[in-house]
Structure 1
Amino acid sequence: MKTLSQRLDEYLALRRAMGFDLSFDERVLRKFVNYGDEIGEHLISTALFLDWKENYGSADDNTWSHRLGMVRRFAFWLAEHDGQTEIPSSQLVAGRYRRRVPYIYAPKQIADIVAEAGRLPSPYGLRAALWQTLFGLIAVTGMRVNEALSLNQHDVDLNRAVLVVRNSKNGGDRQLPFNKDTANRLASYAHLRDRLIEHQTQRFFIKEDGEPAGDCGARYNFAQVSRNVGLRSPQSFNRHGHGPRIHDLRHSFAVHTILDWFRDGRDIECEMYKLSTYLGHSEPKHTFWYIEAVPELMQLAAARAEQRVLEGAS
């Protein structure tokens, strides 16, 4: 009989072949199946989920509702292969997953994060160059973390100053232009990478051991940098702690871009559709959400609407 871990490998391989980005889901599900393997369970059941929930750690109901959804999707697939699989009820957790209010970094905070990443210690300096370049790239392009980590070397065209993002969250490809300063920083990292690493994968962002940089490493190093600049409190046992996330760099890019449009007097609705395409959103409503989520943008939008009403009445 296959273990839950082996079944998960099959499930993830199938969904990735369909174009899904499952990096976050995999981290959660891997811990779930590892727990099941450790206690000798080969099947998903309501009892297993509740036992895992009891022993996994503290989190609010909204978070557990989100985790339950991941387990249920895995269980639905597994039930097609093993009729003894029990699909946990969606009512096991009372909470409902809500989109988290973004933390918007001030420009100085972003500069501090990028500068501090450049001081991360390593024998040959590649660790500092890697994470400084990655964090800076996300901040100036609004890419998702895993989109940046998934870039291959041929996806980064330094001559044309264009990135090609392939198989993004919504399954499509898109091109992102970048400026000369970003091109210089990407080229500087690539030069150091090629000088230090003889045998490489095709990924653009590579660690000192020659392996591709991963999601867990990105979040660990971002947490360390955030503590160093005072955005997170010190933590014991290498815990990440709580505070602004690396994904908030993407939110900050979007919000600062929209703020600039308001200040420049641009047609916000027209520009938002462009930004939606640039960010790789499946629907424009996911981009317009920033106006509702950020008080300053909401105030600017309300003031713009009020001005239009006054102009129409005059």
Structure 2
Amino acid sequence: MLSEAVESYLTVRRACGFAIKSEGSLLRTFAAFADARSEGYICAATAIEWAGLAESVFQRARRLGAVIRFARHARAEDERHEVPLPVFGREKAPRPVPYIFSEDEIRRLVEEASQSGYRSLRRRTYSTLFALLACTGLRVSEAIHLRFDDITEDGLVIRCSKFHRSRIVPLHDTARAGLASYLEMRRPYAPFDDHVFISLRRKPLLIADVESAFQTIANRIGLPHQPGLPRPTPHSFRHTFAVRALESSPDSRDRIARHMLALSTYLGHSTVSGTYWYLDATPSLMRDIADRCEILVTGVQS
């Protein structure tokens, strides 16, 4: 039965370091669907029918993609397994264009956060958090999981974040001073919890807490939020940090390559291609790319 083959496949994937929680759930559902038809081997038609039960095209593509990967693995040992064609197209929707903050918008967000809410700790928590996100490019999940011991002389220790990688993020003296000032107020409030950022419930912040606070503040200062246009979110701090860092890249080809690699490592990307995606984020970066291409082709420095 396919259920046993699925469990064997998931065991192998996990041994290779993949979490595959949602994909595992999908494959178990597919195996039950096939087992109900007494199919001991993957049938392409059955897989497509099962995937087609999802509501959206992207969900169907994602379902079928999970089966395709499983089928390739299974077929390596038994050719009676069929590998379906990706008839529903891409598994992932195109990455949305990121919202890039101006310096003035970041300043206004931090200032409004420092005045938002009826308790001073909440105000300091979100103004400090937003300022830290803006000056370090941390993921929101990384920031809210920071512990006291993660603040070191060398910078912030980001432990086993996305892609199971740890790294050190240097801190400017002003950022270090801002964190120290916040912690002086925060420590007595929840002395038995060592998370840097906590809520008024005396518990670590949740991503939903951050998103809710951000949207309230963004609405108050009038950040644009129109259908079809880039939408400001807490993750936009990271996008903005990456784009500004790219805009400061040196000119020569070798130095650009080193700059991109360093930035990719700093941001905690699994591959440098994740960093190159930011190159199409702003008109100024696109102009820089066009200028470099012209110099490369003509050999003439403007």
Q: TM-score, normalised by structure 1?
A: 0.67
- After TM superposition, the structure 1 = structure 2 runs for residues 107-256 of structure 1, keeping only pairs within 5 Å, are 107-123=103-119, 125-157=120-152, 160=153, 162-200=155-193, 202-232=194-224, 243-256=231-244
Choose 142-151 or 295-304, whichever is displaced more: 295-304
Task: Provide the secondary structure at the position in 1 that maps to 2:277.
Answer: helix
CA root-mean-square deviation: 3.9
Task: Provide the secondary structure at the position in 1 that maps to 2:127.
Answer: helix
Task: Provide the secondary structure at the position in 1 that maps to 2:249.
Answer: helix
1:65–1:94 CA contact under 8 A, matched in 2 = no
4+ long deviations beyond 6 Å: 43-52, 70-73, 89-95, 263-266
Task: Provide the secondary structure at the position in 2 that maps to 1:289.
Answer: helix
2:99–2:232 CA contact under 8 A, matched in 1 = yes
Total equivalences in the alignment: 250
Q: Give the Cα separation in 2 of the matches to 1:208 and 1:181.
A: 26
2:102 to 91, 102, 106: 106
Q: 1:233 to 1:286 in 2, by over 3 A?
A: closer
The one-character-per-residue Cα deviations of 1:114-155 (angstroms, maximum 9, x if unpaired) are 1111112133x1111111111111111111110111111111
2:53–2:60 CA contact under 8 A, matched in 1 = no
Q: Which amino acid aligns with 1:126?
A: L
Partner of 2:286: 298
Task: Provide the secondary structure at the position in 2 that maps to 1:121.
Answer: coil
1:61–1:96 CA contact under 8 A, matched in 2 = no
Larger Rg: 2
Task: Provide the secondary structure at the position in 2 that maps to 1:99.
Answer: coil
Q: Give the Cα separation in 2 of the matches to 1:52 and 1:265.
A: 46
The one-character-per-residue Cα deviations of 1:161-205 (angstroms, maximum 9, x if unpaired) are 5000011111111001011110111111111111322432x2211
Q: Which amino acid aligns with 2:219?
A: R
1:152–1:203 CA contact under 8 A, matched in 2 = yes
Q: Give the Cα separation in 2 of the matches to 1:115 and 1:263.
A: 35
1:144–1:250 CA contact under 8 A, matched in 2 = yes
1:118–1:132 CA contact under 8 A, matched in 2 = yes
Q: Give the Cα separation in 1 of the matches to 2:251 and 2:114.
A: 33
Shift of 1:49: 9.7
Q: Give the Cα separation in 1 of the matches to 2:32 and 2:211.
A: 29
Q: Which amino acid aligns with 1:185?
A: G
Q: Give the Cα separation in 1 of the matches to 2:178 and 2:144.
A: 16
Q: 1:110 to 1:263 in 2, by over 3 A?
A: farther
Q: TM-score, normalised by structure 2?
A: 0.69
The one-character-per-residue Cα deviations of 1:241-297 (angstroms, maximum 9, x if unpaired) are x93111111010010111122589993222111000000111111111211343321
- Structure 2 residues not aligned, in runs of 5+: 1-9, 26-30, 34-46, 71-84
Q: Which amino acid aligns with 2:213?
A: N
1:165–1:174 CA contact under 8 A, matched in 2 = yes
The one-character-per-residue Cα deviations of 1:66-99 (angstroms, maximum 9, x if unpaired) are 8x559969xx9xxxxxxxxxxxx98679884111
**Identity rate of aligned residues, in percent?**
29
Partner of 1:257: 245
- After TM superposition, the structure 1 = structure 2 runs for residues 7-156 of structure 1, keeping only pairs within 5 Å, are 62=58, 64=59, 96-123=92-119, 125-156=120-151
1:272–1:287 CA contact under 8 A, matched in 2 = yes
Q: Which amino acid aligns with 1:311?
A: G
Q: Which amino acid aligns with 2:173?
A: K
